[in-house]
């Protein structure tokens, strides 16, 4: 319990959404409030550039999408916030799913124009699986979108979660006048492009005649009717229900105009969970334990293109992480120490002396880490629930420049270590096959191989639909199977045998024809 004070002042959360809902814009506004950046879209340089602070990969800036989870830490009203901005695009869902294992709560951004979209549904399924508390921010209220009551009904029905409005919008689109804060009985007036404190009007109650003066007769009457209905249906927020992921508080606003964001951030630091205890393979690990433990949920090579660095993103789960102290690497069964652990502000890194439960630390990695690796002060266990997926699309890597073979091999190993793709080598040969969940990942890999490693490649499609990891009690039978099925046999990057099935029918046939061999849909069995 000696770190109780440090734990109490930490909040770790992820922002999730469908692409283009305004997630990265919202991230920037949080950073502005925390004083972490001075200008939206500004990256520390001689010129103010027009790309988002949290989109640090060159391809992200060109495409205008986030393809890697970005970690940022900042302080707001005495609370240390660890914010993880996740990719919205479905092809990078794996990265987002793993990030959700490293946070204690989530802010879900919904576009008021498009409502609930496919990726929103998938992400919420993961949150429900893990009972992660969710706050909903309905964005783009200054654009013509869906009716607010219809939108709430759609979100509740599509995402199977009870909502609880904390603020209420006054019109939308070009008629958007602002929001009424149901908790504090205050009025926030909207003016595009500004967000000054004088836009907040404190009122004694909804009967206050200042409403007519500020909103006009019709809008004032509509707000009173809406607020009465909302308060009658929802009542006060039960914070315990929120913490148990039974109800999601809802805020309305416009992230690009920095409107309605502060109200959500103030509520977030008041009600969001502090770092939580977690399950490990041998026992639950309590957040108040004195001994340090934590896990790697992401690896990123070349965060700084000038230095060929490789950073493992490490979530501290208990105790105190200290610079230059030796920790036990459970999978490798060896002790490791870190002389330059980092905290993050997007691409900016600063060396830290210590970190506590809830913090995300960047560890300089020389190739020791894989996703899911655990560090402890001697005990052997792994944290559970870190997902890995069988790829759905497979392509052969064709090297366009044989003189760059070494650079290509290094690039493939490092990029696939990041967890966005899996690398297989054909059994008995040297054909390299990459497996991904989405097409866009191949584009990113091709781009990064060229720009970060100088290796030029093309991809040829392969006729496989699923990768299965193989185990057998009798090694000779497994070897016979691999030789007989050489065209479909491969090894993963750790040398484990894999069967690449052409279709469900082929897979089921092989499973029934080979009872002595076990087919697994995840590489986790080799941990």
Q: Mind listing the pLDDT tens digit for each residue in 28-77?
A: 888 888 765 555 444 333 333 334 444 444 544 554 443 344 678 888 88
Q: Are residues 369 and 513 in the same domain?
A: no
From residue 314, give the alpha-carbon distance in Å to each of 35, 192, 342, 391.
Answer: 24, 40, 10, 24
Residue 5 resides in a domain: no
**Quick one: CA dihedral 342, 310, 13, 147, positive or negative?**
positive
Q: Are residues 366 and 398 in the same domain?
A: no
pLDDT of residue 193: 59
How big is the CA angle at 452 (ends 447 and 454), to the nearest 5 degrees? 85
Over residues 465-486, mean pLDDT: 90
Q: Do 423 and 490 meet the contact criterion of CB atoms below 8 Å apart?
A: no
Any alpha helices (H) in 147-216, and if so which ranges? 148-159, 210-215
Q: Mind listing the pLDDT tens digit for each residue in 63-115?
A: 444 334 467 888 888 898 888 877 644 545 566 777 788 899 999 999 998 88
Spatial CA neighbour of 369 closest among 429, 301, 302 = 301
Residue 409 resides in a domain: yes
Q: Are residues 341 and 370 in the same domain?
A: yes
State which of 251, 271, 291 marks the end of a domain: 271
Q: Are residues 33 and 107 in the same domain?
A: yes
Q: How far is CA 446 from the centre of its chain?
A: 23
Q: What is the CATH number of the domain that holds 428?
A: 3.30.70.3280
Phi/psi of residue 212, nearest 5 degrees: -60, -40
- Per the listing, tokens 């609880």 go with 164
Q: Are residues 251 and 310 in the same domain?
A: no
Neighbour count for residue 211 (Cβ, 10 Å): 22
Spatial CA neighbour of 25 closest among 256, 260, 193, 268 = 256
Residue 270 CB contacts under 8 Å (≥ 6 apart), including other chains: none
pLDDT of residue 142: 87
Number of domains in the chain: 3
Q: Mind listing the pLDDT tens digit for each residue in 4-16?
A: 899 999 999 988 8
pLDDT of residue 53: 45
DSSP for 65-128 reads S--S-EEEEEEETTEEEEEEE---SGGGHHHHHHHTTS-SEEEEEEETTTBS-HHHHHHHHHHH
Q: Are residues 352 and 411 in the same domain?
A: no
Any alpha helices (H) in 277-387, and if so which ranges? none
472: pLDDT strictly greater than 60: yes
* Cβ-based burial of 288 (10 A; exposed 0-12, middle 13-18, buried ≥19): middle
DSSP 335: E
Q: Mind listing the pLDDT tens digit for each residue in 161-207?
A: 999 999 999 888 888 888 888 888 888 888 765 544 446 777 777 77
Over residues 454-471, mean pLDDT: 90
415: pLDDT strictly greater than 60: yes
Residue 428's domain comprises 393-526
Gap between the terminal Cα atoms of the chain? 31
Q: Do 22 and 255 meet the contact criterion of CB atoms below 8 Å apart?
A: yes
State which of 218, 248, 271 marks the end of a domain: 271
pLDDT of residue 94: 65
pLDDT of residue 32: 82
Residue 513 resides in a domain: yes
Q: Are residues 421 and 450 in the same domain?
A: yes
Residue 4 resides in a domain: no
Could you tell me the two tokens for 525? 């069995």
Over residues 494-511, mean pLDDT: 91
317: pLDDT strictly greater than 90: yes
DSSP 176: -
Counting residues of the chain whose pLDDT is more than 70, the rounded percentage is: 85
DSSP E strand stretches across 302-371: 310-318, 320-322, 327-329, 334-336, 342-345, 348-351, 354-356, 360-364
The model's pTM: 0.76
Q: Are residues 62 and 188 in the same domain?
A: yes
Q: What is the CATH number of the domain that holds 283?
A: 3.40.50.300
pLDDT of residue 68: 43
Q: How far is CA 12 from the centre of its chain?
A: 11
Q: Are residues 34 and 89 in the same domain?
A: yes
Residue 383 resides in a domain: no
How big is the CA angle at 54 (ends 48 and 60), to the nearest 5 degrees? 90
pLDDT of residue 214: 83
Could you tell me the two tokens for 26? 């919202």
Q: Are residues 57 and 154 in the same domain?
A: yes
Q: Mind listing the pLDDT tens digit for each residue in 113-152?
A: 888 887 788 788 878 878 899 999 999 998 888 888 999 9
Q: Do 428 and 467 meet the contact criterion of CB atoms below 8 Å apart?
A: no
DSSP for 372-418 reads T-EEESS----BS-------SEEEEEEES-GGGHHHHHHHHHHHHHT
Residue 232 resides in a domain: yes
Q: Are residues 368 and 504 in the same domain?
A: no
Residue 385 resides in a domain: no
1: pLDDT strictly greater than 70: no
Q: Are residues 256 and 287 in the same domain?
A: no
State which of 271, 293, 328 marks the end of a domain: 271
* Cβ-based burial of 222 (10 A; exposed 0-12, middle 13-18, buried ≥19): middle
* Mean pLDDT of the chain, nearest integer: 82
Could you tell me the two tokens for 203? 């009122």
Could you tell me the two tokens for 522? 């995840």
Over residues 276-297, mean pLDDT: 92
Residue 206 resides in a domain: yes
pLDDT of residue 210: 79
Over residues 206-222, mean pLDDT: 83
DSSP 280: B
């Amino acid at each position: 319990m000696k770190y109780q004070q440090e734990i109490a002042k930490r909040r770790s959360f992820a922002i999730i959404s469908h692409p283009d809902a305004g997630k990265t814009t919202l991230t920037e506004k949080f950073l502005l409030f925390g004083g972490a950046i001075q200008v939206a879209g500004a990256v520390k340089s001689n010129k103010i550039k027009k790309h988002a602070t949290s989109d640090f990969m060159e391809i992200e800036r060109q495409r205008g999408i986030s393809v890697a989870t970005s970690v940022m830490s900042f302080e707001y009203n005495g609370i240390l916030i660890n914010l993880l901005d996740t990719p919205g695009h479905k092809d990078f869902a794996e990265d987002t799913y793993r990030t959700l294992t490293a946070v204690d709560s989530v802010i879900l951004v919904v576009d008021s124009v498009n409502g609930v979209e496919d990726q929103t549904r998938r992400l919420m399924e993961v949150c429900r699986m893990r009972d992660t508390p969710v706050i909903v921010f309905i964005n783009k209220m200054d654009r013509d979108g869906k009716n607010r009551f219809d939108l709430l009904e759609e979100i509740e029905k599509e995402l199977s979660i009870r909502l609880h409005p904390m603020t209420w919008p006054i019109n939308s689109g070009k008629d958007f006048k602002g929001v009424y804060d149901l908790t504090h009985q205050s009025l926030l007036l909207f003016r595009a492009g500004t967000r000054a404190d004088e836009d907040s009007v404190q009122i004694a109650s909804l009967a206050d005649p200042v409403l007519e003066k500020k909103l006009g007769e019709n809008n004032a009457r509509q707000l009173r009717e809406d607020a009465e209905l909302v308060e009658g249906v929802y009542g006060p927020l039960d914070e315990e229900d929120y913490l148990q992921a039974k109800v999601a508080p809802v805020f309305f606003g416009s992230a690009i105009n920095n409107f309605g964001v502060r109200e959500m951030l103030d509520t977030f630091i008041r009600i969001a969970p502090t770092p939580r205890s977690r399950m490990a393979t041998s026992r639950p690990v309590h957040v108040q334990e004195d001994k340090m433990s934590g896990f790697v949920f992401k690896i990123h090579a070349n965060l700084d293109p000038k230095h060929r660095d490789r950073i493992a993103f490490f979530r501290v789960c208990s105790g105190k992480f200290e610079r230059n102290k030796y920790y036990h690497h459970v999978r490798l069964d060896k002790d490791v120490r870190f002389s330059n652990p980092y905290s993050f502000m997007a691409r900016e890194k600063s060396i830290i002396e210590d970190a506590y439960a809830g913090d995300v630390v960047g560890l300089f990695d020389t190739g020791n880490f894989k996703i899911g690796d655990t560090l402890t002060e001697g005990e052997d266990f792994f944290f559970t629930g870190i997902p890995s997926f069988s790829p759905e699309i497979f392509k052969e890597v064709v090297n366009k420049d044989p003189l760059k073979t070494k650079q290509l091999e290094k690039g493939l190993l490092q990029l696939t270590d990041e967890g966005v793709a899996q690398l297989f080598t054909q059994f008995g040969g040297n054909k390299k096959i990459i497996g991904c969940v989405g097409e866009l990942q191949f584009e990113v890999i091709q781009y990064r191989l060229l720009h970060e490693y100088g290796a030029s490649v093309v991809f040829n499609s392969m006729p496989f639909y699923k990768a299965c990891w193989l185990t057998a009690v009798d090694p000779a039978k497994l070897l016979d199977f691999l030789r007989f099925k050489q065209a479909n046999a491969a090894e993963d990057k750790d040398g484990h045998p894999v069967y690449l099935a052409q279709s469900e029918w082929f897979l089921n046939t092989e499973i029934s024809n080979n009872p002595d061999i076990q087919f697994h849909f995840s590489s986790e069995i080799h941990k």
